[in-house]
Chain A
Amino acid sequence: MAKETITRQEYRVVGKAVTRIDAAGKVTGKTVYADDMHLPRLLHAKLVMAPYAHARIKSIDSAKARRLPGVEAVVTAADLPPHRKNPSNRREVLLAEDEVLFYGQPVAAVLASDPHVAEEARDLVRVEYEELPPVVDPVAAMAEDSPLARSPVSEVDRTEEKGHIATGVEQREEQGKPSNIASEMSFKRGDLEEGFAGADAVVEGTWWSGMVHQSYIEPHVTIADYDATGELSIWTSTQAPFYIRDEVSEILEIPETKVRVTATEVGGGFGGKIFLYETLVAALAMVVRRPVKLTMSRKEDILAATPAPQAVVELKTGMKADGTLTALQARLIYDSGAFPGAPMLPGCLIIGGYYKCANLGIQGYEVLTNKVSVGALRAPGAHNATFAIESAVDMMARKLGLDPLEVRLKNAVEKGDPLPSGQPYPAIGLKECLQAISETAVWNERRDSRKHPNRPDGHPPARGVGLAVGGWLGGLQPASATVGLNGDGTINVIVGAADITGTNTSFAQIAAEELNVPMSMVNVTTGDTKTAPYAGMSAGSKTTFTVGRAVKLAADEARRQILEIAGHRLETAPDDLEMKDGVVRIKGSTDKTLTFGRIGHMSTGFAARYAPVVGTGTITARRQAPGFTVQIAEVEVDPDTGEVTLLRYAIAQDAGFAINPLSVEGQMQGGASQGLGIALSEEMVYDDKGRLLNPNFLDYRLPTTRDLPPIEAIIVEVPSEDGPYGARIVGEPSIVAGAAVIANAVADAAGVRVYDAPITPERVLRAMGKIKE
């Protein structure tokens, strides 16, 4: 039911569902990941991790560990090579030096030729700590008399955050009296008092969403080698090779010419594979002058990577009897963990970014606590804010007796409407997504949902349907690509962007489309930072949107060069030529032809007449292509156990133009699944001493195949102004709506509102008043 705004017949390759070019390697297990790699004289690193959330290191005794046969070195902060040290930037605190700031923070590294020996030696390192009061709860941490989680913060580096979302808004860093509030910001529009005075229904609540992990299958793995000539090579599972090069170069004071970062195949990133211990591993390699590999175990990864924050969102909204949203007042508190960098700003934009509203007041706080510091997770910060606003919209609709879908359609933002920052939206497809959901079976059969017969075991059923909006603005970063013609007439595309979602397949489609050849003639390679044309990080859903444009330009340039050579050879103007399947011919002629192979040979061979065909495409992206999604669920709630069973689920998402609909559907279903994990079962649980209680995949519960129903994916296409063929961001929006969808469906089914996510059976029972203690 995709909206036909583009005639697909215009295109030959793009817009068609194709199998990913890397699929065979993945499904046969042949793909090489960082941990599969080995180098001569390689040492394995194991990290000594702090057993306290907040402590002072009094002494480190590594004598016993060093004596274990096979151990090459035990490295502490004091042993590291000189490097830039900003204590408020986690990437520059390679090992804890004096103060431990979170449970699991690396304190020392043990290096051995055998990983098991390294692990054994790790347990022999004796660290003496003096415990300090841990700051765990972000709301309590905001109180004036709260103990401080750490030394006051200065000079916050927000480069990574900006890779995900381009905002044009600056945050105020806290000045003056030391506090746990790392930064705060606010947006204002109109007059709140007037807005609430004009409302017929006002809804107020506090929504809490827990800390969650990206849960990529492959934990972080990095290998670094620093050779005798001072060249640093890093192989790492990352979404952001150039960003790592830039940062490592700056922190270790090595010129970028001497740093080669190779992004190995990423076994899942979701925003969590931007930058972690690459600088540490490089520094370790510099200490021992041997290659060093760090492979995180699942437990270590959950303890000490960069998960996504918990957030407390206080929200008050007002609506007129006709469904007009009149006022929106919000206070968002993001728990940043021990270092600044929480996605509070995107949360503030999102909470006021779905609906037209004349009167807004939004305040955001980023608060430091003694927990592992947070990073990006697929639309960072958006799901926390969405849980609140999309619950509130349902509650207002219910109060006023209005249809929840109609209310959303009435207020939904359109092109030109302002974000809370004042910035106007470009072309967007929120209304079109709502329309698409209104045509689904699960929506149209919602009234029958309550009337179904009892389940076979005779327990009272409670079924209901809920929906919610999700959106994401997307990141912006320059990109470049080259498209070259090989001697045999095949096409080589080289990019600098790590392929984490099938983007290289889409690039092959784009190059094939522009050169009118089958995809099988095109190869796409992601180069390393010394060889590849620059690309921003593969984050912020922007890879196809930005690098795809560069590939398209590069392919067009290669096409122009091919036609020029052919025109010269065939003694005709390039305009009179056409190309198809690797053959150039004079329009309408069948004998005046020239194959790509011939042209390739004539531009690469000995004493060749023509210069090689190499098209370069470079772009900068200044305008976003925000992506919206609307999702709907039918659930069954067991009123005695609180269990929520998903019966049906559908997602509509605006992709602008789906270059590979198969990939787009996969992104929609995968993101929706992650959103449902956040909604129903995923939560990192800390005790009151700041210790993580569930650093494993048993008690940190991702949904399994049996927990999720088939997810119906409906691609909506409202073209973006700038993306290739009208494509817009795709990867992130799908994760955003889950918790609100489920909360609304549970409210419809069981008549109770759950304000805490994940919406566990225990929380449902408490909302129903069935557990009181």
Chain B
Amino acid sequence: MRPFEYFAPTSLQEAIDVLRQRGDGGRPLAGGTDLVVQMKEGVLRFPYPEYVVSLRRLPELKGMDFSEATGLRLGAGATFAEVAESPVVRERYPIIAEGASIVGSVQTMNMATVGGNLCNAAPSADIAPPLLACEATARIAGPSGQRTVPLDEFFVGPGETVLRPGELLVEVLVPPPPPRTGGAYRRHTPRKQMDIAVVGVAALVTLGPSTSSGQADGGAFQRVRLALGAVAPTPVRARNAEARLEGRPASDEAIAGAAAIAHDEAKPISDVRGSAAFRRHLVGVMTERLLKEAVARARR
């Protein structure tokens, strides 16, 4: 690892000031599970940082809270361990808890943060598909003030986001889940832990009211959100598959049809973790399984 300057500001404003005053060539550091490894290995998408700004002491980025009215606020500095163990996230947003609970090892989860995972912008980022499916928004702060961006518009390409120089992701806001909503996230990995998604699928469905005709499984898809990881340059929504389901009865046939659309909608590449054909196949299989699971949870 080559030498670099290290800053440890204690407020958001101070961090933004450091980045503004020092200018280009700096990198914010959250948990370090991506950045430090990349710096050690010398595999960076950007020039080797001249300076690093630790975000670990910024109170504005810490923690999470929930209210029925406004939903969930996840601080960018919330660790995966905190998110995965949070009772409210587990109960109200199991889809997010599932994304947070499978990242790396226990040691990784104790360090890695929601903001770091999003800003590293790997196509395989595990927290991204659940948050995309939940239609989260990103609150960003920078030298020219604050702004809010739908997470769907946050990712630009592998390792690239809409963050402008000197800007930091502060928090992610997730709307409250409507009644009769269920969601789930799974990924395929060659190993059962310590791995990176070959394909990730998040499904969030809201069902309409049950029909009174005694159909136990009654209800149509009122709203469907499907998000895919590791099958495009960024984590993406599968909008065609979503559109296919909305308004239709929540049947296995409809789900199979949507899975086939998602299969065609994915644009994976071949790499050392799997061929494009394999990934595409998995998108179909996993979308079908995840939608069924989301429906089952919505009915509970």
CB-based contact B193/A641 at 8 Å: no
Q: Which residue of A lies closest to B288 (CB)?
A: A640
CB-based contact B3/A116 at 8 Å: yes
Interface of A: prevailing SS: loop
CB-based contact A299/B41 at 8 Å: yes
* B195 in contact (CB, < 8 A): yes
CB-based contact B293/A457 at 8 Å: yes
* A27 in contact (CB, < 8 A): no
* A427 in contact (CB, < 8 A): no
**Which one of A459, A699, A706, A762 lies within 8 Å of B192 (CB-CB)?**
A706
Interface residues as binary, B272-300 with A (CB distance below 8 Å gives 1, 0 otherwise): 11111110011001100100010000000
Q: Which of A168-176, A205-213, A234-242, A690-698 contacts B (4 or more CB under 8 A)?
A: A690-698
Known: A457-B289, A641-B285, A698-B196. A762 touches B275 (CB 8 A): yes
* B191 in contact (CB, < 8 A): yes
C-alpha gap A116/B1 in the complex (Å): 6
CB-based contact A641/B195 at 8 Å: no
A306 CB, min distance to chain B CBs, angstroms: 22
* B2 in contact (CB, < 8 A): yes
CB-based contact B188/A773 at 8 Å: no
C-alpha gap A699/B190 in the complex (Å): 9
* A322 in contact (CB, < 8 A): no
C-alpha gap A463/B193 in the complex (Å): 22
C-alpha gap A443/B271 in the complex (Å): 39
CB-based contact A699/B191 at 8 Å: no
**Which one of B41, B194, B272, B277 lies within 8 Å of A773 (CB-CB)?**
B277
Number of residues from A at the complex interface, CB < 8 A? 30
CB-based contact B190/A698 at 8 Å: no
CB-based contact A681/B285 at 8 Å: no
C-alpha gap A762/B192 in the complex (Å): 16
* A704 in contact (CB, < 8 A): yes
* A481 in contact (CB, < 8 A): no
**Which one of A640, A694, A696, A707 lies within 8 Å of B191 (CB-CB)?**
A707
C-alpha gap A120/B285 in the complex (Å): 47
Interface residues as binary, A687-722 with B (CB distance below 8 Å gives 1, 0 otherwise): 000000110101101011011000000000000000
CB-based contact A765/B191 at 8 Å: no
CB-based contact A704/B191 at 8 Å: yes
CB-based contact A701/B278 at 8 Å: no
CB-based contact B293/A704 at 8 Å: no
Q: Which residue of A lies closest to B271 (CB)?
A: A693
* A84 in contact (CB, < 8 A): no
CB-based contact B191/A703 at 8 Å: yes
Chain B positions within 8 Å of A771 at CB level: 275, 277-278, 281
**Which one of B2, B191, B271, B285 lies within 8 Å of A116 (CB-CB)?**
B2
C-alpha gap A765/B275 in the complex (Å): 12
Looking at B42, B274, B275, B285, the one whose CB has the most chain A CB atoms below 10 A away is: B285
CB-based contact B272/A699 at 8 Å: yes
C-alpha gap A681/B190 in the complex (Å): 7
B34 CB, min distance to chain A CBs, angstroms: 12
Interface residues as binary, A671-697 with B (CB distance below 8 Å gives 1, 0 otherwise): 000000000010001000000011010
* A64 in contact (CB, < 8 A): no
Q: Which residue of B lies closest to A645 (CB)?
A: B192
Interface residues as binary, A634-666 with B (CB distance below 8 Å gives 1, 0 otherwise): 000000110100000000000000000000000
Chain B positions within 8 Å of A685 at CB level: 272
Chain A positions within 8 Å of B193 at CB level: 704, 706-707
A273 CB, min distance to chain B CBs, angstroms: 23
CB-based contact A641/B275 at 8 Å: no
C-alpha gap A773/B268 in the complex (Å): 14
C-alpha gap A459/B3 in the complex (Å): 52
Known: A116-B3, A771-B281. A762 touches B191 (CB 8 A): no
Chain B positions within 8 Å of A698 at CB level: 194-196
Interface residues as binary, B86-127 with A (CB distance below 8 Å gives 1, 0 otherwise): 000000000000000000000000000000000000000000
* A760 in contact (CB, < 8 A): yes
B279 CB, min distance to chain A CBs, angstroms: 9
CB-based contact A701/B285 at 8 Å: no
Chain A positions within 8 Å of B1 at CB level: 116, 119
* A609 in contact (CB, < 8 A): no
* A16 in contact (CB, < 8 A): no
Chain B positions within 8 Å of A696 at CB level: 41
A499 CB, min distance to chain B CBs, angstroms: 29
Chain B positions within 8 Å of A765 at CB level: 278, 281
CB-based contact B41/A770 at 8 Å: no
CB-based contact B277/A693 at 8 Å: no
Q: Which of A720-773 contact B (CB under 8 A)?
A: 760-762, 765, 770-773
Known: A640-B285, A706-B192, A707-B191. A120 touches B2 (CB 8 A): yes
The chain B residues found within 8 Å of chain A, CB to CB, are 1-3, 41-42, 188, 190-196, 271-278, 281-282, 285-286, 289, 293
Other A-B pairs, 15, CB within 8 Å; known A693-B272, A762-B275, A771-B277: A120-B3, A123-B42, A641-B285, A643-B188, A681-B191, A693-B271, A699-B272, A703-B191, A704-B192, A707-B192, A765-B278, A770-B281, A771-B275, A772-B277, A773-B275
Q: 4 shortest A-B CB distances, which residue pairs?
A: A773-B277, A706-B192, A762-B278, A693-B272
The 18 sampled A-B contact pairs (Cβ below 8 Å) are: A116-B1, A116-B2, A641-B188, A681-B191, A698-B196, A699-B272, A701-B190, A704-B193, A704-B194, A707-B192, A707-B193, A761-B188, A761-B278, A762-B274, A765-B278, A765-B281, A770-B281, A772-B277
The chain A residues found within 8 Å of chain B, CB to CB, are 116, 119-120, 123, 299, 457, 459, 640-641, 643, 681, 685, 693-694, 696, 698-699, 701, 703-704, 706-707, 760-762, 765, 770-773
